[in-house]
A and B are shown apart, each in its own frame.
Chain A
Amino acid sequence: MNDQQQRRLTEGLRALAETSRTACASRRVEESVLAEAQRLWGEREGGRHFSSGRWLPLAAGFVLAVVGAIWGARATVPASRGAVIHPSGFVTLPSAYGLPEIESASIIRIQVPLSALPAYGLTAPDALTDSIEAELLVAQDGQPRAIRLVNDPPDTRSRP
Chain B
Amino acid sequence: MIEDDTVTDESLLARIAFGDVEALGVLFRRRQQSVFRFALHLTGSPAIADDVTQDVFLAVIRDAGRFDPGRAIVTAWLCGIARNFVRRRLGVAREVASIDDDAFDGPMPAVTPDPLMDLTSGEALEALRRAVLSLPIKYREVIVLCDLQEMTYEDAASTLACALGTVRSRLHRARALLTSKMQAEHKGNEGASGVMKRFIA
Contact = CB atoms under 8 A, between A and B. Distances in A.
B1 interface: no
A26 B40 CA distance: 12
A36 B28 CA distance: 13
A4 B46 CA distance: 33
A144 to B, nearest CB: 31
Given A12-B128, A23-B40, A25-B32, A34 B175 contact: no
Contacts of A36: 58, 61
A1 to B, nearest CB: 5
Interface residues of B, number: 46
Interface of A is mostly: helix
A9 interface: yes
Contacts of A23: 33, 36-37, 40, 46, 49, 108-109
B19 A25 contact: no
Interface of B is mostly: helix
Contacts of A6: 175
A76 to B, nearest CB: 52
B169 to A, nearest CB: 14
B168 interface: no
B21 A34 contact: yes
B29 interface: yes
Interface of A: 1, 4-6, 8-10, 12-26, 28-30, 32-34, 36-38, 40-41, 44-45
